[in-house]
Amino acid sequence: MSKYDAPGTFKIPNDQKEEETCILLVEYNAQQVVSKDLKIGDIELFHSSSDNVSLFIINNFRNNDLLNAVRQKWGIHSLTLEDIVNGKQRCKYENFDKYETCTLQKYAYGEKSQITLILAGNIVLAFAQEIDNVIEKILNRISSSSCRIRERDSGYCVYAIMDSIVDTYFEELEILEVKMDILDERIETKDRNISKDIFEIKRRVLDFKKVTLPLREMTNSLLRNDDSFFFRDQRTKLFLRDLHDHILRITEGADSLRENAYSLLEMHNNEVGLRMNEIMKILTLITTIFSPIMFIASVYGMNLNIPETKVFNGFPIFWGFAILLSILQIFFFKRKKWF
pLDDT tens, residue by residue, 3-55: 546 565 656 655 555 567 889 999 999 899 999 999 998 998 898 888 899 99
SS (H, E, C) 232-248: HCCHHHHHHHHHHHHHH
Mean pLDDT to the nearest integer, 60-71: 87
Mean pLDDT to the nearest integer, 227-232: 89
Tally of CB atoms within 10 A around 250: 20
Cα 202 to Cα 182: distance, rounded to the nearest angstrom: 14
The pLDDT value recorded for residue 312 is 67
User: pLDDT, tens digit, for every residue of 171-221?
Assistant: 888 988 898 888 888 877 777 778 888 888 888 888 888 888 899 899 999
CA dist 1 → 20, 82, 243, 250 (Å): 19, 8, 33, 32
What would the DSSP string read from start to end of 71-140? HHHH---HHHHHHHHH--PPSEEEE-SS-EEEEEEEEETTEEEEEEEEEETTEEEEEESS--HHHHHHHH
The pLDDT value recorded for residue 163 is 93
Residue 302 has pLDDT above 80, yes or no: no
Cα 56 to Cα 25: distance, rounded to the nearest angstrom: 5
* The most confident of 4-18, 93-107, 310-324, by mean pLDDT: 93-107
The pLDDT value recorded for residue 284 is 83
The pLDDT value recorded for residue 333 is 77
The pLDDT value recorded for residue 53 is 93
Percent of the chain beyond pLDDT 90?
31
Three-class SS state of 170: helix
Cα 228 to Cα 236: distance, rounded to the nearest angstrom: 11
Whether the CB-CB separation of 83 and 103 falls below 8 Å is answered with yes
